[in-house]
Amino acid sequence: MEKDLGNYRKSYEKSELLLKDIPENPLELFQKWFYEVDTYFNEDETNAMTVSTMGLDGYPKNRVVLLKRFTFEGFIFYTNYNSEKGKAIAHNPNVCLSFFWHSAERQIIIKGKAEKIAENLSDGYFESRPRGSQLGAVVSNQSEVVKDRAYLEQKLAQLEKEYEGKEIPRPLNWGGYIVKPIEMEFWQGRPNRLHDRIRYKLQPDYNWDMQRLAP
């Protein structure tokens, strides 16, 4: 079972991140990086991100979700509000998002506060989802213990019959969160482990302070 990973090595040499080349607002840099990765690099899901919350049991927990929208206000994803992450956010809205795009040798870490988006926005996104995904959201009491997979599949079959030819309403316990950033760090891999790390911190006047960090 034991395996020595000490000799796993990779030299990061694809790009650089210099203060003179980046905008004052980190959301602009995020938009630029996201576009570049999505267009020029081989990533299956550029919008895959890790959401970290502080659980009710006192332990932090990470999970990968999909970013569905980003604006100059923040980052939006959707989930079951009664899920483990939803309960954690209700208890402590301070969260961390992270993106790792290995093909571009880039990483972004975002600290912020999560809050529910307006119900009409959740309605609009729910209506845009494939019908199977809509039914899946109704079927799943996310994070709850179930007896077996057959239970979920039977419940799905029942709902398919119930809603045949009908519009599927959004469950009230399912919707979106927006994470409004207070700190964003951009990491660009560089040779000899001297990586570029640029951190933006939101100031009381809502401007961003920018600093270079040691790798």
pLDDT in tens, 101-113: 999 999 999 999 9
pLDDT of amino acid 183? 98
Helices (H), 98-178: 119-128, 131-139, 149-162
DSSP-derived secondary structure letter, 170: P
Between residues 5 and 70, which one has the greater pLDDT?
70
- Residue 165 included in any domain: no
CA distance 30 to 36: 10
Task: Judge whether 188 and 15 are in contact, CB under 8 Å.
Answer: yes
Catalytic residues: 193
Across 5-25, average pLDDT? 89
Asked whether residue 135 is assigned to any structural domain, the reply reads: no
In whole numbers, what is the pLDDT of the chain averaged over residues?
95
- Domain membership flag for residue 79: yes
Summarize pLDDT for 93-151 with one digit per residue, the tens: 999 999 999 999 999 999 999 999 999 999 999 999 999 999 999 988 888 888 899 98
Structure tokens at 105: 């040798």
In the chain the first and final C-alpha atoms are separated, in Å, by 32
Count: domains in the chain: 1
Domain span holding position 119: 19-129+172-213
CA 59/CA 105 separation, integer angstroms: 29
Across-strand partners of 209?
201
- 36 assigned to some structural domain: yes
Q: Supply the pLDDT for residue 50.
A: 98
CA distance 156 to 149: 11
Residue 74: inside a domain: yes
User: Is 40 within the bounds of a domain?
Assistant: yes
Predicted TM-score (pTM) of the model is 0.92
42 assigned to some structural domain: yes
Query: Region 21-32: what's the mean pLDDT?
Result: 96
Q: Which pLDDT belongs to residue 64?
A: 98
Does 1 score more than 80 pLDDT?
no
pLDDT at res. 13: 86
| pLDDT single digits (tens) 28-68 | 999 999 999 999 998 999 999 999 999 999 999 999 999 99
What CATH number should be reported for the domain holding residue 199? Answer: 2.30.110.10
Collect all residues with Cβ–Cβ distance below 8 Å to 152 and sequence separation of at least 6: 139, 140, 146
Q: What is the dihedral of CA 126, 131, 137, 140, to 10 degrees?
A: 180
149 in a structural domain: no
